[in-house]
Structure 1
Amino acid sequence: MPAPLNPSAIALLGLVAWSLLLVFLLVNQRGLLVFSGRMRVNAFAADGSNTPSEFGQRLVRAHANCVETLPLLAAVLLYAIASGQTALTDPLACVLLGARLFQSCMHLISTSALFVWLRFAGFLVQLLILAWWLLGLSDLL
């Protein structure tokens, strides 16, 4: 029987699952555009700039933001799990996942100044947690 998941493992899997969910939404949206004849399959700009809806453009950026930070966050969580140091990462692991979800949701909702500030706050929380973990895992604390 596998061991129960600790908060660090839950956060790691949650980060991957969230990125996967966003890519499924992106594929679904693009598939609907292609199959409805509104766009050609090879017409999509990588940055989403030619997507017919603002939501589609925000979805592309939200997914890209997840993919950009996932290697950093996953590497530190994996290191902590593999080295048996989850006592450092467990207390903030779910906060980190929550901040990632919050950042993405703010991105999906709006690009108004308020939501950009909220999105930045979620991102800053992730960066501060990551820096704290790196310092702790390197015994600099």
Structure 2
Amino acid sequence: MNATILALTGYIFWVMLLLLALATYRSVFSQMQKRKSLVFKADGSDVGDIGQRLTRAHLNCVECFPFIGGILLLALATDSSTITNGLAFVLLGARVLQSLVHIVSISNIAISVRFVFFLVQFAICGYWIVKLLEKFM
């Protein structure tokens, strides 16, 4: 398996892990709060601070998947993973770190750090797009 495949698999696994953490948190929260309804707001605003941050971290991964996962899939589909392999783990690491910072804190410094991790991902994807376009033009 190459780095692109592993990074894509890692990204999908990370989204699933965040979803499992969120579902577990909501279940425990419901039991502790003795909630009668298992209905939750989509933004997580009804499950406390950590629940809301978990919700947003998960949704942020899902929101970014079209451009991150899309580029990784495009590279694999066009036999161009040599373009993405070199930075695939850097991108995955930045994604995971962004999520972890999102979960841990919403302080101004944490938001700035999160944005840096997002910019790393965005820049890598932009670089890959240019390289893919150069290959096929």
Match of 1:74 in 2: 69
1:126 aligns with 2:121: yes
Match of 1:15 in 2: 11
The ranges of structure 1 where at least 4 consecutive aligned residues each deviate by more than 4 angstroms after the TM superposition are none
- Among 54, 61, 64, the residue aligned to 1:59: 54
Match of 2:24 in 1: 28
5+ residue gaps, structure 1, are none
Match of 2:101 in 1: 106
Q: CA deviation at 1:36?
A: 3.9
Q: Number of residue pairs matched?
A: 135
Match of 2:2 in 1: 6
**Amino acid across the alignment from 2:69:** A
Identical columns (%)? 39
Q: Distance in 2 between matches of 1:104 and 1:48?
A: 15
**Amino acid across the alignment from 1:78:** L
5+ residue gaps, structure 2, are none
Q: TM-score normalised to the size of structure 2?
A: 0.93
Q: CA deviation at 1:37?
A: 4.8
- Among 80, 91, 94, the residue aligned to 1:96: 91
- State which drifts further: 60-69 or 73-82: 73-82
